Structure 1
Amino acid sequence: MSEPQVGEELVRLASADNFRDVAGPGHPTADGGRVRRGVLFRSNELQLTDADAHSLGGLGITAVYDLRGHHEVEAHPDVPVPGAAWHHLAVGGIPMDEVAALTTGEQSLAAMHRVYRAFVEDADARASFGALLTRLATTEGPQLFHCTAGKDRTGWAAAVVLGLLGVPEDVVLEDYLLTNTFSTATREKYLGLIRDHLGPEKVAVYEAVMVADEAYLRTAWDAVAATYGDLRTYVLDGLGVAPADLDALLARLRG
């Protein structure tokens, strides 16, 4: 089985439905090349079956980076991927008490925009994203990063990497929005639980929290532009990644 077929098969695994190659099918880059497949992978939380864990191990993944908060990790620890070291690089999402207090769709939207601005403006978030990119640059072998749904923290990290490679903005956006396709079953399951346990009127309240939305990604892009001017400056100055490490990472990803 060829590499693209392996990747396409893995994204359909039920226990990690948002697992995929950061490179997509080999996204086009600014230098006329393609993003190299099989180097970086992204996912939702790794609540893996034994078979799925074995399949991921077969990709030769050497490191897993968990971007979830401490309470998320404690509630649903990752299933180990054979051969891969696990690292925790926490990035805050919406605090659980704030999630519980949401009463309108407008409040949910506002909360999501705050989360994406924090990816750029919050010092702790920047430190974790900086550590992620540095480790991706300096660790041998294929690597995987993930959060809970694989859409916000993971989606931003992937969008930054693709943007740095010069992947066209519309392609980066399309890749980011694929979460809504791959995670349809999971999203519908949780919205069904909300409908059954909290009432149908709560579905509209929480739906905004469970989707990837172009407006969210643009909020983070706009924050980068306002504070740093461009993604490379954000990564070097905001995230503290060494120029040599950044260049090494991008070189590994250029096909």
Structure 2
Amino acid sequence: MTSERFAEELVRLASADNFRDVAGTGAGHPTVDGGRVRRGVFFRANELRLTDADAATIADLGVTCVVDLRSSHEVELHPDVEVPGARWEHVDVLGIPMDQMSSLPDREAAVAMMERVYVGFVEEPATRAALGRVLTILAGEGAHLFHCSAGKDRTGWTAALLLHLAGVADDVIEADYLLTNEYAAASRAAVLDTIVENLGPDKAEVYAPVLVADADYLRTSYAAVRARYGTLDAYLRQGLGLGDDVLGALRAKLR
């Protein structure tokens, strides 16, 4: 199958169920000025425990660079399967603090932890520096795939920033962010089954908020941006340190 044909289809990978084109399906997400986001440029995913067939599928899409947003510990636990013809870049973007997971007493504590993660995308200097590095890499030539472990938080925020740069309306960005719950339903169910089996159903209820994309989480980041920077554009420039060269290159790729 040619890469052109892939560009017109929704690619689903058996071994990375949250893999998708950032631009959406069909002709791509609409922009507020009547345009469309270009497909086949940026892809997003959960961790790449790929079959040979799925690695070949990604290569056929023309991906030239894989950007891994996970911590070094996460990478050591589950190294990416190599995508033929693509270089691998690692940028540690702070995600869910796994050391806090075992001590979560209830669902409310889990939600509060997730909100801290999303505020951290805006407030934590090291996280902002890492996100700036990620977007700088993505501005380079070629098609890029970026991912974290579940493909919903670090990856979801990065995708939201790209769609904002493309000129996509906030409600469309939010709907795209929430698609993780549909795409990753199978892997999420497998994790919950493991929790029930090992820790009991009560713990599954506690951990459930950690396993989903929730619009309130995304809105938490937006609220933090407004409080500190006023606008997302100011956050990209002042918070992430991105200049006209990087922002212009990203917009050119997206449109």
- TM (norm. structure 2) is 0.95
Match of 1:243 in 2: 244
- Matched letter for residue 60 of structure 1: G
Query: What does the per-residue CA deviation read over 1:139-173, in whole Å, with 9 as the maximum and x for residues that have no partner?
Result: 21110100000000000000011112221111100
Higher mean Cα deviation, 207-216 or 53-62? Answer: 53-62
Q: Aligned residues: percent identity? A: 57
CA contact (8 A) 2:7 2:61 kept: no
CA contact (8 A) 1:30 1:165 kept: no
Match of 1:212 in 2: 213
- Matched letter for residue 187 of structure 1: R
Moved over 6 A (4+): none
Match of 2:91 in 1: 89
CA contact (8 A) 2:165 2:250 kept: no
Match of 1:129 in 2: 131
CA contact (8 A) 2:29 2:168 kept: yes
Match of 2:76 in 1: 74
Are 2:223 and 1:222 equivalent residues in the alignment? Answer: yes
Query: What does the per-residue CA deviation read over 1:6-56, in whole Å, with 9 as the maximum and x for residues that have no partner?
Result: 4x1x22x22010000000021111221100000100000000001100111
How far apart, CA to CA, are the structure 2 residues paired with 1:178 and 1:91?
22
Match of 2:17 in 1: 17
CA contact (8 A) 2:6 2:61 kept: no
Residue 5 of structure 1 deviates from its aligned partner by: 4.0
Query: What does the per-residue CA deviation read over 1:178-222, in whole Å, with 9 as the maximum and x for residues that have no partner?
Result: 000000010000000100100111111000000000000000011
Match of 1:163 in 2: 164
Give the aligned CA root-mean-square deviation in angstroms: 1.0
| SS of structure 2 residue aligned to 1:15 | coil
Are 2:57 and 1:65 equivalent residues in the alignment? Answer: no
Match of 2:56 in 1: 54
Match of 1:199 in 2: 200
- Matched letter for residue 19 of structure 2: F
How far apart, CA to CA, are the structure 2 residues paired with 1:30 and 1:251?
16
Q: Give the aligned length.
A: 250
Higher mean Cα deviation, 219-228 or 23-32? Answer: 23-32
- Matched letter for residue 23 of structure 1: A
CA contact (8 A) 1:164 1:231 kept: no
CA contact (8 A) 1:119 1:220 kept: yes
How far apart, CA to CA, are the structure 1 residues paired with 2:14 and 2:130?
28
Match of 1:105 in 2: 107
Q: List alignment gaps of at least 5 residues for structure 1.
A: none
Q: List alignment gaps of at least 5 residues for structure 2.
A: none
How far apart, CA to CA, are the structure 1 residues paired with 2:8 and 2:206?
38
